[in-house]
Amino acid sequence: MVAITKYKYAKRIGVSKMTVTRRTATNVLLDTALKNFYGAAEEMGLDENLIAILGSSERRLEVSVPVEMDDGSIRIFRGYRVQHSTAIGPAKGGIRYHPEVDVDECEALAMLMTWKCSLAGIPYGGGKGGICCDPLTMSMKEKERMSRAFAARIAPIIGTWQDVPAPDVNTGGQEMVWFVDTISKLRGHLEPGVFTGKPIPYWGSMGRTAATGYGVATCGLELLRVLDKDPKNATVAIQGFGNVGSYTALTMVEAGAKVVAISDVTGTYYAPKGIDIKKAFEHISTHPKKLLEGFTCDGCEKKNLDDILFVECDILYPCALDGVINVKNAGDVKAKYIVEGANGPVTPDADEILTKKGVLIVPDFLANSGGVIGSYFEWAQNLSGYFWTEEEYNKRLIHIMKGNFKLVWDYSQNSSVPMRRAAFMAAIQRVADVVKLRGVFL
């Protein structure tokens, strides 16, 4: 892995020795985020003072989360919340529960959220958080106690106009209810807008659950449109069949595409003649752990977990975790196009390999921005106390997603740069302009 300190901008911007040491990224995702930022900033000719500001997060919080387990023992989990930038508005980004969560991962994802919100044109900055844990081994009551303890620990730095978290890996509407309820009790009044991704009965928004997957699929369909290709002739493979992947699959099938492979932690499910996606969706909806385990359909073959990445198809949607397509396996990818549903699924080295192969990539913070746009819709409705219909929600979401795709596609074509670089340049410029307008104030 190439350390960030080898970049000429890291040398030129005059950062302190301590900062340089900290930013020698040991986390793959943080390394990827910084490489993309410094590379785009250099190509843009961005002012070095702005690079210094935007290359660092405003706040990194680490907390201990004590939890009474069902057997009466006390376990201490580590929790994190990082706010990369609040230049444009409150920090925005999910909270994930996963054994590999650490502060560097959260910082990388917080930076990505800054660019994602900027590119989407919504009034948010970037944040991210999580707890290092394995929620699949915990009972519902243990997860509730952990969630409430974590909410209380990060309460001083979150708020409707300060930092608005949302669901992420292994969290969902139930966790958001526990968070909101805890914060509201601590503050003595209901504060529904402090978290988004809530269930509809509890200040949630119609359309929010499907928003990320709907947006990811929309970018894939827009890509086919600008390439003058009919979705009905397209084959699709989707890595990850959670919330994002499942709704991406449903949307693509509704558009006429054929989904030939899907996967989750239990393996890859491959059917060259097409998978019955509605059946797969019903399967995970009734499975105790929301998994594909035990799923079968006509002509479906179960393969190894990583095989999903090497399926022959038109569009590959990596909708699981970061770094899954890397320098070791990028050469084996057979898809013509990649639309990133997950955050950072393609490493920079793999990106270079794929680009040389002619694989066109729609970057994550464009493709999966439907989730944060949906969160913005929910937040706006919470602030006003007025709720939209699902039809209104989806119409506004698709309008924004199509507009954002066109912005990046046109920028890419006019500047002769890959879509990822075009997206970064457009997003960074908007934040930099606001930082410049506001100036430096402590």
- More confident of the two residues 2 and 106: 106
SS (H, E, C) 364-382: HHHHCCHHHHHHHHHHHHH
pLDDT at 371 (0 to 100): 86
Distance CA 330, CA 310 (A): 9
Checking if the pLDDT of 130 tops 70, the result is yes
Whether 363 and 241 map to the same domain: the answer is yes
Q: Among 367, 395, 417, where does a domain finish?
A: 367
Checking if the pLDDT of 39 tops 50, the result is yes
Whether 138 and 218 map to the same domain: the answer is no
pLDDT at 18 (0 to 100): 34
For residue 319, tell me if it sits in a domain.
yes
Whether 30 and 63 map to the same domain: the answer is no
pLDDT at 384 (0 to 100): 95
CATH of the domain at 336: 3.40.50.720
Checking if the pLDDT of 262 tops 70, the result is yes
Query: Encoding tokens for residue 249?
Result: 């699959």
pLDDT at 33 (0 to 100): 86
Distance CA 372, CA 383 (A): 16
370-380: average pLDDT: 94
Distance CA 277, CA 283 (A): 10
Whether 31 and 150 map to the same domain: the answer is no
Lowest mean pLDDT among 11-25, 38-52, 381-395: 11-25
Q: What is the pLDDT of residues 53-78, one digit of tens each?
A: 999 999 999 999 999 999 999 999 99
For residue 388, tell me if it sits in a domain.
no
The neighbour count for residue 149, using CB atoms within 10 Å, is: 20
Q: What is the pLDDT of residues 202-250, one digit of tens each?
A: 999 998 888 899 999 999 999 999 999 999 999 999 999 998 999 999 9
Give me the helix-helix angle, 348-357 and 28-44, nearest 10°.
Answer: 60
Distance CA 208, CA 176 (A): 13
Measured distance between the N- and C-terminal CA atoms of the chain, rounded to whole angstroms? 34
Checking if the pLDDT of 4 tops 60, the result is no
Band (pLDDT 50/70/90 cuts) for residue 17 is very low
Q: What is the pLDDT of residues 84-95, one digit of tens each?
A: 999 999 999 999
Q: Are 375 and 197 in contact (CB under 8 A)?
A: yes
For residue 204, tell me if it sits in a domain.
no
Kind and range of the H or E run holding 289: none
378-384: average pLDDT: 96
Domain count along the chain: 3
Whether 181 and 313 map to the same domain: the answer is no
Kind and range of the H or E run holding 166: strand 163-167
Output DSSP code: residue 89.
Answer: S
Residue 279 a catalytic site member: no
The closest alpha carbon to 305, from 241, 216, 251, belongs to 241
Query: Encoding tokens for residue 431?
Result: 């934040």
What is the domain range of residue 124? 57-190
Percent of the chain with pLDDT over 70: 94
For residue 375, tell me if it sits in a domain.
no
Checking if the pLDDT of 319 tops 60, the result is yes
DSSP of 191-250, one letter per residue?
-GGGS-S--GGGT--TTHHHHHHHHHHHHHHHHHHHTT--GGG-EEEEE--SHHHHHHHH
For residue 237, tell me if it sits in a domain.
yes
Checking if the pLDDT of 23 tops 60, the result is no
Checking if the pLDDT of 417 tops 70, the result is yes
Query: Among positive and negative, which fits the CA dihedral 369, 396, 92, 415?
Result: positive
For residue 137, tell me if it sits in a domain.
yes
The closest alpha carbon to 211, from 175, 243, 163, 252, belongs to 243
For residue 391, tell me if it sits in a domain.
no
Which among 35, 92, 116, 128 is annotated as catalytic?
Answer: 128
One-letter identity of residue 139: S
Checking if the pLDDT of 16 tops 50, the result is no
Checking if the pLDDT of 6 tops 90, the result is no
For residue 125, tell me if it sits in a domain.
yes
pLDDT at 442 (0 to 100): 53
- Residue 6 contacts by C-beta under 8 Å, 6 or more apart in sequence? none
327-347: average pLDDT: 95
Q: How far is CA 243 from CA 211, 313, 373, in A?
A: 9, 22, 16
- What's the number of CA atoms in the CB half-sphere (13 Å) around residue 388? 21
Whether 11 and 40 map to the same domain: the answer is yes
Q: Among 21, 37, 56, where does a domain finish?
A: 56
pLDDT at 312 (0 to 100): 97
Checking if the pLDDT of 1 tops 50, the result is no
Q: Among 334, 367, 400, where does a domain finish?
A: 367
Q: What is the pLDDT of residues 175-193, one digit of tens each?
A: 999 999 999 999 999 999 9
Checking if the pLDDT of 9 tops 50, the result is no
Band (pLDDT 50/70/90 cuts) for residue 30 is confident
Whether 40 and 110 map to the same domain: the answer is no
Whether 174 and 307 map to the same domain: the answer is no
Whether 121 and 229 map to the same domain: the answer is no
Q: How far is CA 426 from CA 192, 347, 365, 391, in A?
A: 32, 20, 12, 30
pLDDT at 21 (0 to 100): 38
Distance CA 214, CA 199 (A): 18
Kind and range of the H or E run holding 319: none
Q: What's the mean per-residue pLDDT of the chain?
A: 92
Query: Among positive and negative, which fits the CA dihedral 8, 13, 18, 22?
Result: negative
- Greatest extent of the chain over all pairs of C-alpha atoms, in Å: 62
Whether 63 and 171 map to the same domain: the answer is yes
Checking if the pLDDT of 257 tops 50, the result is yes
Residue with tokens 């910084």: 34
Whether 39 and 70 map to the same domain: the answer is no
CATH of the domain at 168: 3.40.50.10860
Q: What is the pLDDT of residues 144-169, one digit of tens each?
A: 999 999 999 999 999 999 999 999 88
The neighbour count for residue 160, using CB atoms within 10 Å, is: 16
Query: Encoding tokens for residue 164?
Result: 């608005």
Whether 115 and 247 map to the same domain: the answer is no
397-414: average pLDDT: 95
